[in-house]
Structures are given as C-alpha cells and as structure tokens.
Amino acid sequence: MNVHGLPEEFWIVTKPSPLSTMEDVCFSCSFQRLMLQARGGLSEDEIVGVFADEGEARRSAATLLGKCPVRPQDAVFVEVVINVMVKPNAEGMTAKDLATAAVEAVADAVRQGEKAGFRHRLKGRISLGAGMVELRNLTIVCG
C-alpha cells in the first residue's frame, strides 16, 4: 500500500491507566505500525491524538499522566532483584554471616521505605552457595 502526504514517522498518544508510564502512552509510529497496533487491539477511542511533533506529543502525554495519579487501591507487583556484595570485616566470618549482613542491609532499606510511607508485602529469598537466607516480614531466617 502506498501512503501519500503523511510523514514517515509520527507520534501517537493514548489514554493512560493509573499505572501508565510515558512510554506506554506516547510512542513513535509509522502507518504500518499503527495498523498492527489496531489489529492488536488499539481502538480509536483509546487514541487521544496523533502528532507530527514529538515535543507536542510528550507534553500532551505528560498532561494526561498528571491527571491519572496512582490511587490507594491500586497495587503494583514488582520483582526486585538485588545483588549485595558483602565483605568480611573480621577474621573467621562465614558465608552465613555475610548472607545475614546482606539481608539486614536490605531489611534496613525496607524499614526506611516504610518510614517514608511505602507499604509492601515482602517476600524474598537470597540463595548463596552456603545455603538459603530468607527475609520474611523483616525476620531473618538463615538456613
């Protein structure tokens, strides 16, 4: 199909959800990609605007994102992988000691987040060659 009079690339801005990011609602597009998006489920009702200028599209998207803050009833599950390097500070420390120190460091970071008002359902494990270290609701269990 030949497309005449349209720029090779333009910008689409869609309606955000409470969890949307700029990349979710504002993206570069070609006519062919727009057709694929429509086949994938993007409807005309979801498109707020089509822009030739990226800056104008981003400003429009930023305005929309500001109107859709995360609400208290919204929840986001994020898997966070943390690599903690721990070095012994005394002779005779074991891998279990180091693993406990690493888990305590993560627990301290979680406590700081809680003090700042962030809520969570903490569930995690740290696996080392020496065994498994679990963090269960800020209780350190070394095995």
66-110: pLDDT as tens digits: 876 666 666 666 666 667 777 787 888 887 787 777 777 777 777
Q: Comparing C-alpha atoms, which of 138, 140, 55 is closest to residue 96? A: 140
Could you give the CA distance from residue 63 to residue 45 in angstroms, rounded to a whole number?
Answer: 18
Helix (H, G, I), strand (E, B) or coil at 112: helix
pLDDT tens for 65-75 read: 887 666 666 66
What is the DSSP code (8-state) at residue 111? Answer: H
pLDDT tens for 113-126 read: 778 877 665 555 54
pLDDT tens for 6-63 read: 678 999 999 998 788 899 999 999 988 889 999 999 999 999 999 999 999 999 999 9
At 128, is the pLDDT very low, low, confident or very high (cuts 50, 70, 90)? very low
Could you give the CA distance from residue 14 to residue 44 in angstroms, rounded to a whole number?
Answer: 9
pTM for this prediction: 0.47
Taken as a whole, the chain contains a residue count of 143
